[in-house]
A and B are shown apart, each in its own frame.
Chain A
């Protein structure tokens, strides 16, 4: 009887001791986990004088206007063009007003960014009717010119050099002629320029429609 009760008693002690140990281990372990996970607290930082608590005033673009640059020539005009159709006023008879002549294909232009340009004729034939007769003018050659433009006008300032030959066929016969440079040309034409083409005209009845080509000023 004593042995039995002693055993049971011993079992209780053992159980309690076990719980005590486990609890103690748990307490220590949890404390260690706590320290390990929480750490030793925030790191000390920085002497006084941190960043300002007020944001910086927003940097604005300078009050003074930014630098500027001379405006170039209209990008739309610059480039290479071929004349699709053209009606020019041609004067042949000294005692008669110029008459309208339509041209065949073969004329082209190059308007360069530096304000110079080239006009080329490649067997361009102008045809006109005057008093029931047909007059023809065939032109070959080229001419250099200077130009400028604003929003809706293009001004041909000068015809600086010319290598242009004309051949007239009129009822009275045929003849040849050449053109000469004209430093004081100053021809002002109205123009419309866009992605689809260029149209130029003036009050004399001149009107020309151009299409852009993939030469000068074209970027692929």
Chain B
């Protein structure tokens, strides 16, 4: 019997060590696999993420003008019978789901700081063709000084039609969704270069705007917009360019805060958002200094945008669709495609033509990806926890049986019952997990003992309880004492249990285990009871 027990002990020790090693290795491996980079997903750059976040809210702003230019000094009118019919394009972005968008002020400004300047440029070119201009810049300056852009009548307003274009997904293809827009407010270039547009379309994707103008120099930024000529406006597959750069300087021009940025921008990108690496708007593409050969542009600080929206009580901010889209992207880039699909589906349910949600949902569906932490990993961990716990208890019981055999053999009068009961209870009691079979249980306990806790928890407590119950009063100390003589107390592992079970402040021996904070001086082991 003793031999057998010893053999079992030996085998149990090996098995335990093996299980321990395997379990730890498995845990480490699984944790690494589960939380680390998902298989099959190349880590996206911060710029890519930011661009993906911003993309749905970015639109092309088409402006159709009809105007004449009149020299107020000479009365000469330029533009002929039909005037100048100009189609210009800028970039804009949604700021609220209720169809509110922002673009650069100069894009829709009919005055000299907007289309007027462009018109003067055209007039200057026409005049140059007939020899009436020597220096184009001087000519534009002269026109700015004394010319006006106007409608068909003297001093009448310029005719302006604004149309917002965005690609939407309909019948498995991307089509242009042109939306007539109303100009709600214009802050001219010299005063900030911000315009607010309104379209009659709900659930428009929006971007988050940072209300600040003091971003540090060197902050990485991404300027996004639709460069190129206006004749590509109606191409629904047109994708914006994202130019990365950094904030080079902060400037105040006539009291208006601007950022100087190194990101390149070209015609058509005006009004496009400049976002940080989280896809939040920190400014908008405004202008490039004339004659500057380097990549050097100005962006209007987002505080101006926020100020306009606040001042005009124009709502802004993300809506549920935006948040779900962002969450979907986050999951997608983390490789959690199943979860990503849930979010994208929610977006598409609310906004069926959401082009980017459709696209990312398709991409997420192409590769299996993983969940945030695979359920299999969690289940495996739980299984290991329970399995090893059961085995540990089994071995413990085996040992107890062996110990009991030894005690019996040691001589009459040795209190077998209390020894085994208290010995077990000393482990199970203080640990006192919330219940057996709940993998989470042991973790919530105070420490090491919790591993045994669930095993000895609700299921084992009735057994240990009665055993343990009388122990504090009578047999605990004696039992441990006698056990120590048999080497029980000298187990190094158990020795470590004591300090852990000690601070558990006594509930350890309570049959009602689990109430960790319960004070229990009665269950506090006597100093002499502490192992080694």
Contacts and interface: CB of A to CB of B under 8 A. Distances in A.
B406 A2 contact: yes
Interface in B296-347: 319-321, 323-324, 327-328, 331, 334, 336, 339, 342-343, 345-347
B243 to A, nearest CB: 28
B178 A37 contact: no
Contacts of A15: 16-17, 19-20
B320 A10 contact: no
A10 B487 CA distance: 10
A1 B382 CA distance: 36
Given A7-B487, A17-B452, A26 B381 contact: yes
Given A16-B16, A23-B385, A8 B10 contact: yes
Interface in B115-163: 124, 126-135, 138-139, 141-143, 151-153, 159, 161, 163
A75 interface: yes
A113 B74 contact: yes
Contact of B131 (A1, A71, A72, A196): A196
Interface string B1-30: 010011111101111110110011001001
Interface string A6-46: 11111111111111111111111011011111110111111
Contact of A12 (B17, B31, B129, B447): B17
B13 A16 contact: no
Contacts of B321: 45-46
B385 A67 contact: no
B55 to A, nearest CB: 17
Contacts of B347: 42
B389 interface: yes
Interface of B: 2, 5-10, 12-17, 19-20, 23-24, 27, 30-31, 34-35, 64, 66, 68, 71, 74-83, 85, 124, 126-135, 138-139, 141-143, 151-153, 159, 161, 163, 168, 170, 175-180, 201-204, 234, 319-321, 323-324, 327-328, 331, 334, 336, 339, 342-343, 345-347, 349-353, 371-373, 377-379, 381-389, 391-392, 395-396, 398-399, 402-403, 406, 439-444, 447-448, 450-452, 454-455, 486-488, 490-494
Contact of B342 (A9, A41, A70): A41
Contact of A34 (B126, B131, B378): B378
B139 A219 contact: yes
Residue among A30, A37, A67, A113 with most chain B CB within 10 A: A30
Nearest to A27: B381
A58 interface: yes
Contacts of A31: 373, 378, 440
B131 A14 contact: no
B531 to A, nearest CB: 11
A104 to B, nearest CB: 24
A12 B13 contact: yes
**Contact-residue bracket for chain A:** 35 or more
Given A1-B2, A10-B493, A13-B399, A66 B9 contact: no
Contact of A10 (B85, B132, B349, B399): B399
Given A21-B451, A41-B342, A219-B142, 14 more contacts: A2-B5, A9-B10, A14-B492, A24-B440, A27-B439, A37-B331, A49-B202, A50-B203, A56-B180, A57-B178, A69-B83, A219-B133, A219-B138, A220-B139
A55 to B, nearest CB: 4
27 contacts: A2-B6, A7-B491, A9-B8, A9-B399, A13-B16, A13-B396, A14-B16, A17-B392, A20-B455, A21-B443, A22-B385, A23-B382, A24-B385, A25-B443, A27-B378, A51-B201, A56-B177, A59-B163, A66-B85, A67-B151, A68-B82, A69-B80, A75-B126, A78-B132, A193-B130, A219-B138, A220-B138
Contacts of A75: 76, 78, 126-127, 130, 132
A69 B81 contact: yes
Contacts of B180: 56, 59
Contacts of A22: 23-24, 27, 385
A79 interface: yes
A192 to B, nearest CB: 12
B9 A114 contact: no
Contact of A45 (B15, B35, B319, B336): B319
A76 interface: yes
Contacts of A113: 71, 74-77
Given A6-B488, A10-B493, A51-B353, A194 B378 contact: no
Nearest to A77: B130
A66 to B, nearest CB: 5
A76 B130 CA distance: 5
A194 B128 CA distance: 10
Smallest CB-CB A-B distances: 4 pairs: A12-B16, A220-B138, A14-B493, A42-B346
A51 B205 CA distance: 11
Nearest to B135: A220
A181 interface: no
Contacts of B439: 23-24, 27-28
A5 interface: yes
B132 A67 contact: no
Contacts of A38: 331, 336, 339, 371-372
Interface stretch (A134-142, A149-157, A210-218): A210-218
A172 interface: no
Nearest to B161: A59
A10 B131 contact: no
A61 interface: yes
A177 interface: no
B8 A68 contact: no
A21 B387 CA distance: 11
B80 A71 contact: yes
A175 interface: no
A52 B19 CA distance: 60
